A and B are shown apart, each in its own frame.
Chain A
Amino acid sequence: MPTIDFSLEDLRNLLGKKIDLKELKDRGILFAKGEIEEEKDGKLKVDVKDTNRPDLWSVEGIARELRGHYGIKTGLPKFKIKKSDLVVKVDKKVEKVRPKTVCAVVKNLNLDEKSLKQIIQLQEKVCQTFGRNRDTAAIGIYDYDKIEGPIKYTTFKPENLKFKPLGFKEEMTLEQIIKKHPKGKEYGYLLENHKEYPIFIDKEKNVLSMPPIINSEYTGKVDEKTKNVFIEVSGHKINTISIALNVIVLALRERGGEICSVDINYEKEKITTPDFSPNYEKMNLEKCKKILGLELSKKEIKDLLKKSRCEGKIKGNKIKVKYPAYRKDIMNERDLIEEVGISYGYEKIDPEKIKFQTRGEEKEIEKFENKMRELCIGFELQEILTFTLTSKKNLLEKMRAKDKKIIEISNPVSKNWSVFRNSLLPNMLEFLSKNKHVQYPQKIFEIGKIAKINKQKETRTEDLTNLSIMITDNEVGYENIVSILDSVMENLGIKYSLKKSKNKNFIESRTAKIFIKGKKIGKLGEIYPEVLENFNLEKPVVALEINLDKLLKLSS
């Protein structure tokens, strides 16, 4: 979710209304699905929650939306588009790299430091979030007065063209830019594996930019003195880049700019952008009332839509809704229903209690876990909770276990949490190792999930619920842990048997497998000294681990 900064004063000026902070916080900003995160000396930090509404990621966009809800200007935003004589010729060669572009010119700007900052902020947010880090949409803004049309959108071999990238004093080849310029290093991967790189270049052979990497220092530098700008958005789909262009152009218009169109000549077609013709979607009025649970008249619905800058025509029980060309989020009538709800105001809706009664139902294993928990408390064991993720080192190396197939994460944040545990023991030993200075005896237990590979399952894995108990003290031995197991089984009324085991976690002849009705349900014993050393432990530890899913099945 994008977070944007702006000043309350700027919003007030754009809105044309002296909205106070409390009203903005409690009601106004909600119309833009926003939340004020921080407020200091009139400077606001706002989270805009809708990741599908780039038109709201700027103070200009928020003002436009709020004008509707406060009745200052409702319905579709209207404005004039003049024609510029600028033409952009798209070379067929770009098809393989970055095939599409849409452009616009905005004239007579009167930018100051603040508004320039806002535009740059919007450009960044749109490229990052909406444009998937410049992949699906990258925006370039240029000083129109330094450009000689027509502009050509074409490709060059990386070593064949030189220009001064933004912020640099020397000319560099495209190849050098990718390797040395900070933006080249950051976004270069987007052009990887291409033999030629995309370039905007004007009639005078001045390079405008190498999208989606960097503008040129000459034309691509925009500041407060810039009066007229040329804007291009490049990417892969006309629909996507058009939204980005419309959002930027409209924001500049809010700052007093005049929008002018640009002709773009593709090999096979000619288009003129920006295109602000509205889109249409139908909404069933009954459905709208049903989903919201509100009794609304046709006129009320129509008026509420107007407040969110849409316009509707009612036909029978349907309304045909025109919505602005900068909105990408409207997929079907449900999206329009939400618009009606937001315009109505959630604070005005009287919550209604759900009347039907149902019976709560717990999983059997949860009940069983609680039973075991109660027993463990009786044995004076302290419950602990650890992560189900652990490290290969803890799980295998320290436990002297074979490199069995374990469930492994391919993109771990840290090696410490990169595999799923297949036993509770390593985490519990690690817990003890962190508490060596704490009073002994230490008696702990954990009930938790472990996960194992199981090719039969649809997820090729299965997770199980295990119980593990551990005791450590100066003097503790096999008999201490067996007596706990015995007591657990006696309390469950289950007969069990112990069989010899060669588990390497434990001392041989002081470890056993636990069987019920011929099925193995767990293990217990004295932890092998080398394992203790691996975990930096200096007192003996006895442990047991049993699978509760199996135990539950066998005990009922």
Chain B
Amino acid sequence: MYKITKEGRKYLKEDFPEIKLIKKEGKKIKDLKDEIDNFDIAMQWAKKNGWIKIENGKIKIKKKPEKYKLSDSLKKIQEDKKIDKKNLEILKKRNLLKKIRDDIEKRAKKFVGKKITNLDPSLLKTGLWRKTKFKKYKIEARGKKIYPGKIQPYQKFILKVRRKLLELGFKEMSGPLVELEFWNFDALFQPQNHPARDWTDTYSLKNPKHGKLPEKKIVRAVRKSHEDNWKYGWSRKKAKRLVPRAHDTAITPRYLAKNIEVPGKYFSLVRCYRPDIMDAQHLIEFNQLGGFVIGENMNLKKLLGLLKTFAKEFGKPEKIKFFPDYYPFTEPSVQISIKDKKMGWVELAGAGIFREELTKPLGIDEPVIAWGIGLDRLAMSALEIDDIRKLFSQDLSWLRKSEVL
């Protein structure tokens, strides 16, 4: 079978271009070029058929045809009638007809006169879709649910926070998940008998148990700072113990001890561990965000300035408030709370100026501001959840449904 091409359908509708041409007797050729589509084809066939001649650049009719064979043949094809071979060849040559493979024709013909569900490719290839009807669909019906690939909501929040800190000029720090007590506590001036170092507050490891202390110079200075100020016998063995990192601040002394730029702004956003019973407010494993700023004579006034910047960047506070606070490694220490429309007063961050007993042994002589932001609480507010466990949701339906932040 043959399918009428797009061009062929146009001719059926508007007539062949050579027919259009002979209706324009006496007109100038250069004007007609724009008026008639496929003008060259029209001229070629009108001449070939012996219908026209050209005089003084104008069309002159020699003979006007009563009927046009090609036009009739094309109509017959449309009506599924047979035509003679000669005209068939011409129509094919003129790209008005296209031969259809038998198997496709066979397949398409099965649908003719029927109500179809799917638009079979054979119907398009043969053009026979014109002889079918589409089954009516209930357009209100929803299709099968599909789910796009998505970033985990809490992860998405973390990426946003990280982006913000980079914009504020902070460099990211990293450190090991399993940490020496030396960096986790001793270098932060936490005495070895401090209750925070009890097994109830910090995990310890069964295997491996001990790591390797850093270079002697630092160890000696840290030991002296503890013995002079806390007045007890400092134990190397205790400092060598390994713990799952208990807080993000453990990374800071590693950086202070060697590779920092002054002035500089640093942050870390890392997983930490604490032996809590898991419930709606507590996780055994959580992310902490913190860091430090050094240079330009840091002081309490600038510390408050930094916290105010954080408040504006990480929330839409109606009011902010500073409270005196206590952290073992900073003095003075301060907490900032913000008043949020939805949540009311929320604790946003804790901060302070590192004690000299901490910075001096690490070779730092100028004041260093240390800060930490309550990342989980911010995330819970942003994601509008009230159970902290949902940050690590194991519920695929919830993850699929979660809004794109």
Q: Which residues of chain A have a CB within 8 Å of any CB of chain B?
A: 1, 30-31, 33, 35, 49-52, 129, 132, 290-294, 331-332, 334-335, 337-338, 341-342, 346-347, 349-363, 366, 370, 373, 376-389, 405-414, 417, 420, 430-431, 434-435, 438-439, 442-444, 449, 451, 453, 457-463
Contacts and interface: CB of A to CB of B under 8 A. Distances in A.
Nearest first, the 7 closest Cβ-Cβ pairs linking A and B are A293-B301, A360-B166, A293-B299, A351-B304, A377-B149, A338-B332, A410-B206
Given A30-B323, A434-B395, 14 more contacts: A292-B301, A334-B331, A338-B333, A354-B293, A356-B296, A361-B172, A376-B149, A381-B149, A383-B399, A405-B207, A409-B204, A410-B203, A461-B178, A461-B242
22 contacts: A35-B323, A49-B324, A291-B367, A334-B356, A338-B324, A346-B304, A354-B305, A358-B169, A377-B148, A377-B151, A382-B149, A383-B399, A386-B394, A387-B284, A387-B285, A389-B273, A410-B206, A411-B203, A431-B396, A449-B271, A459-B211, A463-B176
Interface in B186-220: 193, 195, 199, 203-208, 210-214
Given A352-B305, A358-B263, A460-B211, A383 B155 contact: yes
Contacts of A411: 199, 203-204, 275
B117 interface: no
B174 interface: yes
A347 B293 contact: no
B263 A383 contact: no
Contacts of B324: 30-31, 33, 49, 338, 341-342, 346
A370 B325 contact: no
Contacts of B152: 382-385
A285 to B, nearest CB: 15
B2 interface: no
B301 A350 contact: yes
A352 B211 contact: no
A355 B393 CA distance: 41
Given A363-B174, A417-B285, A439 B145 contact: yes
B276 interface: yes
A68 B242 CA distance: 45
Interface in B274-318: 275-278, 284-285, 293, 295-302, 304-309
B46 to A, nearest CB: 56
**Binding site secondary structure of chain A:** loop
Contacts of A332: 229, 356-357
**Binding site secondary structure of chain B:** mixed
Contacts of B326: 1, 33, 49-52
Given A377-B150, A442-B396, A453 B208 contact: yes
Contact of B205 (A52, A359, A410, A431): A410
Interface string B139-177: 000000101111110110001001001111111101011
A227 B247 CA distance: 49
B211 A412 contact: no
Given A349-B304, A451-B177, A362 B172 contact: yes
B109 to A, nearest CB: 34
A401 B314 CA distance: 45
Given A352-B301, A352-B304, A380 B204 contact: no
Interface residues of B, number: 94
Contacts of A370: 159
B97 to A, nearest CB: 42
B96 interface: no
A179 B281 CA distance: 37
B119 to A, nearest CB: 26
Contact of A382 (B168, B179, B332, B400): B400
B383 interface: no
A426 B70 CA distance: 74
Nearest to A379: B149
Nearest to A386: B392
Contacts of B305: 351-354
Given A335-B331, A360-B170, A378-B149, A355 B242 contact: no
Given A33-B325, A383-B150, A338 B242 contact: no
Contact of A49 (B214, B304, B325, B331): B325
B162 A362 contact: yes
B377 to A, nearest CB: 16
Contacts of B394: 384, 386, 430-431, 434-435
Contacts of B176: 457, 459, 461-463
Nearest to A353: B305
